[in-house]
Amino acid sequence: MKIFPPQIWRLKEELYSIVFGKCEDCGEIMYPYRPVCRKCGSMRVTKVKSKGYGTLIRYTISYQHREGYEKLSPMIVGSVLLDEGIEIVAPISADPEEVRKGMRLQAALRKYYVDSSNGLIVYGIKFRPADQD
């Protein structure tokens, strides 16, 4: 995969935080964010940033990986119920031995990918086990 810097720059908000859309007219919540409401068609959709905490409701441990992601194998991807009440799919940065349904998670900035042709590194949000209070 070749990384094009402008594409990553444009995505900085979505990559470095969890942003969902909230329709100001009908209240519909959409993730990922989009500017037009899927329910009522309104364009009064505002961006809302999640606080980045949630609960793991199901997950899969994957033993197949794409080119350039060898170091992530086995990769964990989960359905995370954010504290704001939205379910999203996200990579989970945890040991396969410690991951379990119902565990508390918090968003963390992690390395996604290194483009071997130019050395560019893409960072983004993954979820890790939450710090204990």
Partner 1 sequence: MVVIVGASIVPINRYYESSAEDLAFEAYKGLTGELKDRPKADVVVISSTYAELSTNSVNLANKIASYLGHQGSAVMRVEAGESGGPAVYTAFSLIKSGIADSVLLIGVEKMADQHGKTIQEYMARGLNYKDYLAGVMPVHYAALMMKKYIEVYRVDYDYFVNWPVKMHSYAVENPMAMLKFKVTPQQVKDSLVISEPIRLYDTGARGDGAAVVLLTSEEVARKYSDDLAKLQSVKGSSGDLEVSTSAMAVRDLALKLGDSVRDYYVQVHDSYSVAAAIQLEDLGLLPRGRSLTELDSVEVNFEGGLKARGYPGGATAVYQLAEIYLQLTQKFKGRTTSKEKALMISTDDLMTVAYGAKVIRE
* CA of residue 2 relative to chain centroid, distance: 21
Rounded CA separation 78/76 (Å): 7
- Minimum Å distance from CB 38 to partner 1? 7
Interface positions with partner 1 (CB under 8 A)? 1, 7-8, 11, 14-15, 32, 38, 58-69, 72, 75, 77-79, 87, 89-91, 112-113, 122, 124, 126
Least distance in angstroms from the C-beta of 102 to partner 1: 13
C-alpha–C-alpha distance, residues 23 and 46, integer Å: 6
Closest residue by Cα to residue 90 from 18, 28, 29, 20: 18
**Rounded to the nearest whole angstrom, what is the least distance from the CB of residue 23 to partner 1 in the complex?**
14
Choose between 72 and 82: whose C-beta lies nearer to partner 1.
Answer: 72
